Amino acid sequence: MTKLARIAAAVAATTAMALPATAVFAQNLTVVNFGGANGAAQKKAFVEAFEKANAGAKITGVEYNGEQAKIKAMVETKKITWDVVEVESPDVSRGCDEGLFEKLDYAKIGAKADFTPAAVHECGIGIFVWSTVMAYNGDKFKTAPTTWADFWDTQKFPGKRGLRKGARYNLEFALMADGVKPGDVYKELATKAGADRAFKKLTALKPSIQWWEAGAQPPQFLVAGDVAMTTAYNGRIDAAQREGKNLKITWTGGIYDLDYWTIVKGTPNKDAALKFIALASSADAQAEYARHISYGPTNTKALAKLDAKVLEKLPTAPANAKDALQFNIKFWADQGEELEKRFASWAAQ
């Protein structure tokens, strides 16, 4: 029996509903994600297993860039064409407050105690843990950079630096480069002096910065030699490594976060959507997903199903997580707008 078949069989047994399959799956289920290597991994681990486990079920995949306005327009016009949507952490609470998402029935998904605490939300459940990290081309440096201070040191490590164009993550990295411990970053950044300190540190690096805006760009920049180091989503570097590229990750001071499944408010396919989320949240499916891309499972029972080679590449591996910083959703919800405006003005100068 293949891995997918085992997943399908296990989930079919544990998440069967009272309604017959033909009643639940009379129509397609539309599942929306961010595409790329993540989308490909979801197709293997979740979509194919779900269709095998549920005769007659057909999932239509859609890619988007996180535009919450599209969801809002559907809900307001009551013309729902999306069912299950992957969203980033700041959008779970925002969408929940605005009435864009259904409240989740965890009795149909799984025991809350099986999941990492950050994964459990009334309107969403964490799909995976990902991290924004420092990456570099292993062919370029004899000595590996190990800290954000190294990232800022263009004399010891010459070359351009890739940074995502925005305030988020960069201000945190700048403070860590300036000597602030990960555990103190948000306390420091919440003060005017701390924000000034972060922007001053960014200004020192500004002549060497090459901005990126799409997750596919950092590994492309590294391979092409456009930058010597860059911030990057760890899964994108993992995908490049699987293609034979000698790219490396420095985990120290990485910022980890979660993406979540949500169900669009008013979808006629709510039961099917819950059943899909139950499968995608099962330990077997989450372990299979982690084998295809190095993002950490949110179902803690999945870890025991993974071998050491897979585990050591995950953001949730103890060695990778020990000096990591959890992205502070509340801080950015409260102060993000002001800091992003300041960043936009600073970047334009």
Q: Where are the domains of the chain?
A: 3-129+258-311, 130-256+330-348
Q: What is the pLDDT of residues 198-257, one digit of tens each?
A: 999 999 999 999 999 988 999 999 999 999 999 999 999 999 999 999 999 999 999 999
Alpha-carbon span 239 to 292, nearest angstrom: 9
pLDDT tens-digit map of 271-284: 999 999 999 999 99
Nearest CA to 315 among 277, 258, 260, 262?
Answer: 258
In the chain, the N- to C-terminal Cα span, in Å, equals 60
Tokens (6 digits) for 316: 């949730």
For every residue of 232-298, DSSP letters joined together read: EEHHHHHHHHHTT--EEEEEEEEEEEEEEEEEBTT-TTHHHHHHHHHHHTSHHHHHHHHHHS--EES
Q: What is the domain class of 130-256+330-348 according to CATH?
A: alpha beta
281, 288 in Cβ contact below 8 A?
Answer: no
- The per-residue pLDDT for 324 is 94
Beta bridge partners of 296: 129
pLDDT higher than threshold 70 for residue 317? yes
Q: Can you read off the two tokens belonging to residue 236?
A: 């994108």
pLDDT tens readout for residues 101-114: 999 999 999 999 99
Q: What is the mean pLDDT of the chain?
A: 91
pLDDT at residue number 15: 44
pTM of the predicted protein model: 0.83
Residue 19 has a pLDDT of: 41
Tell me the sheet residues that pair with 163. Answer: 211
**Residue 16 confidence (pLDDT) above 70:** no
pLDDT at position 80 is: 97
Provide DSSP, 65-89: ---HHHHHHHHHHT-----EEEEEH
User: DSSP assignment, residue 191?
Assistant: S
Among the CATH numbers 3.40.190.10, 3.40.50.720, 3.40.50.1240, 3.40.50.2300, which is that of 3-129+258-311? Answer: 3.40.190.10
H/E segment holding residue 93: helix 89-97
Cα separations in angstroms, 212 against 231, 254, 325: 9, 17, 22
Residue 7 banded pLDDT, cuts 50, 70, 90: very low
Equal CATH topology for 3-129+258-311 and 130-256+330-348: yes
With a cut of 70, say whether residue 47 has pLDDT above it: yes
For 105, other C-beta atoms within 10 Å of its C-beta total: 13
Given a contact cutoff of 8 angstroms between Cβ atoms, the answer to whether 205 and 161 are in contact is yes
pLDDT for 5 equals 47
- Which of 3-7, 305-309, 319-323 is predicted least confidently? 3-7
Whether pLDDT at 55 is above 90: no
pLDDT of residue 1: 53
pLDDT-based confidence at 17, cuts 50/70/90? very low
pLDDT digits (tens, 9 = 90+) for 162-203: 999 999 999 999 999 999 999 999 999 999 999 999 999 999
Non-local CB neighbours of 6 within 8 Å, separated by 6+ positions? 284
User: Which amino acid is it at 59?
Assistant: I
Which residues lie across from 2 on neighbouring strands? none
pLDDT at 90: 87
C-beta atoms surrounding 98 within 10 Å: 14
For strand 29-33 and strand 84-88, is the pairing parallel, antiparallel, or unpaired?
Answer: parallel
